[in-house]
């Protein structure tokens, strides 16, 4: 074979090396969801990419076999060519030249280009790869048996399912790359963490519940509806531990206010749930029973609070205000390192905001503060936790209404 033919063959082999390298990167970096959408739109090559990806081990073996064949062949031919030109010194020179050429033109450059648009290159290379997979079937079978033997010798963790943390990382990367905006990212994060929350994490505690006695006068009920601004109120008999139902203001003002019915007549049955019920399950129950409110009870059957459909939806989309609500931000930033936080704010939200990793039985900031101090807090009480100083700024003598959270400087946090 003449020198010209050898040089042309080397160019072809380096091009094939680039093809195999780019294909490997494309199939490992492609977005499967995007390829599925392309296939659903009728793209036959995208469907072929999905089919090849189903058995990625066989595909990878084919790529590596092809890549090694062309690299070894090119190195051998280059050695022959350089020895013919330069004698014994050609061996060393051939090694240096081919190493540089293969690295730049057969590995680094094609992989960088394929990573920029992996789906497009995977679709381009798929037909040829399908033929090569079929051609190398006997070798792939041998390698699959070898892999099975290695798997038995070196047992790997079989759990390959994507974790919640990995999914959150993907969402963060998508936001940074501009694939989704901040609002979409926050909605996805809320949906991912939705199943981790229970009724006790979002409920309105008993002390804050507005409720009507079943024997309340029309004047009393009218005043409570007007002052609270709520569309529904629990109705109890004797004490709030014995809730008998829920009354809607529409039913009250239509039938009770004019004397055509009593409060008991328009009270609808209440739905009772445990404090530990996941809110995802609670949402389905509320939808099933066409209810907008559930009474949260403890192990003794006593009322500890209520949870509404709005409370659950706010965990997904944030605070929902209407024209009658007094807008109060539960977390208010004072300066760069200081925040004011309502005592009733859910502890899980504060953990997310400040990066806390608390092992606490409390569900609110007020409960967490009391737990940390070990007593009923007074204004001015404070403690330090995970680089934060938490100071009680407002109480009603029995519970915490507001705290101030100050983030310490790194050197101060280290010495705390």
Residue with tokens 């100050």: 406
Give the residue, 257 or 123, on which the prediction is more confident.
123
Residue 157, pLDDT > 60, answer: no
Ordered alpha helix ranges (H), 273-406: 279-288, 309-317, 347-354, 365-373
Residue 414, pLDDT > 60, answer: no
Task: Locate the domains of the chain by residue range.
Answer: 3-153, 164-196, 199-317, 331-415
Residue 179, pLDDT > 80, answer: no
pTM for this predicted structure? 0.55
CB-CB contact of 216 with 234 (8 Å): no
244 — pLDDT class (breaks 50, 70, 90): very high
**Domain 331-415 listed as CATH 3.60.20.10:** no
Percent of the chain with pLDDT over 90: 15
Backbone phi, psi, residue 161, to 5°: -65, 145
Q: Average the pLDDT over 40-68 and give the result.
A: 87
Residue 218, pLDDT > 60, answer: yes
Which two structure tokens, joined as six digits, stand for 226?
A: 């007007």
> For residue range 334-346, what is the model confidence (pLDDT) as tens digits?
888 898 988 888 8
pLDDT attached to residue 282: 93
CB-CB contact of 306 with 234 (8 Å): yes
Residue 285, pLDDT > 90, answer: yes
Percent of the chain with pLDDT over 70: 93
pLDDT attached to residue 59: 87
Residue 272, pLDDT > 90, answer: yes
**Domain 199-317 listed as CATH 3.10.580.10:** yes
């Amino acid at each position: 074979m003449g020198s010209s033919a050898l040089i042309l063959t080397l160019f072809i082999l380096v091009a094939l090396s680039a093809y195999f390298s780019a294909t490997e990167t494309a199939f490992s970096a492609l977005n499967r969801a995007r390829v599925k959408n392309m296939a659903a739109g009728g793209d036959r090559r995208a469907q072929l990419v999905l089919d090849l990806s189903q058995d990625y081990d066989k595909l990878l073996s084919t790529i590596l076999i092809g890549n090694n064949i062309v690299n070894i062949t090119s190195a051998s031919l280059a050695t022959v060519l350089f020895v013919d030109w330069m004698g014994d010194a050609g061996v060393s020179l051939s090694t240096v030249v081919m190493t540089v050429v293969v690295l730049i033109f057969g590995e680094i450059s094609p992989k960088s280009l394929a990573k920029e648009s992996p789906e497009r290159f995977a679709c381009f290379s798929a037909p040829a790869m399908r033929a090569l997979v079929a051609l190398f079937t006997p070798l792939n079978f041998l390698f699959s048996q070898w892999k099975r033997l290695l798997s038995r010798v070196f047992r790997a963790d079989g759990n390959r399912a994507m974790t919640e943390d990995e999914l959150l990382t993907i969402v963060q990367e998508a936001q940074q790359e501009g694939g989704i905006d901040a609002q979409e990212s926050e909605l996805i994060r809320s949906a991912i963490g939705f199943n981790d929350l229970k009724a006790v994490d979002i409920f309105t505690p008993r002390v804050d519940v507005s409720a009507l006695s079943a024997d309340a006068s029309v004047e009393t009920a009218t005043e409570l509806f007007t002052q609270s601004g709520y569309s529904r109120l629990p109705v109890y008999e004797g004490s709030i531990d014995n809730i008998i139902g829920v009354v809607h203001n529409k039913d009250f003002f239509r039938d009770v206010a004019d004397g055509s019915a009593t409060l008991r007549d328009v009270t609808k049955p209440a739905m009772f749930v445990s404090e530990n019920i996941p809110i995802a399950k609670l949402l389905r129950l509320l939808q099933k029973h066409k209810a907008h409110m559930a009474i949260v009870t403890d192990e003794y059957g006593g009322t500890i609070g209520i949870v509404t459909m709005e409370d659950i939806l706010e965990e997904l989309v944030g605070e929902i205000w209407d024209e009658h609500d007094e807008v109060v931000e539960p977390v208010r930033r004072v300066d760069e390192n200081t925040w004011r936080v309502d005592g009733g704010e859910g502890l899980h939200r504060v953990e997310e905001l400040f990066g806390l990793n608390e092992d606490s039985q409390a569900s609110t900031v007020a409960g967490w503060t009391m737990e940390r101090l070990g007593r009923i807090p007074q204004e001015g009480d404070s403690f330090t936790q995970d680089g934060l100083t938490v100071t009680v700024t407002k109480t009603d003598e029995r519970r915490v209404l507001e705290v101030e959270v100050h983030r310490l400087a790194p050197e101060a946090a280290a010495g705390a």
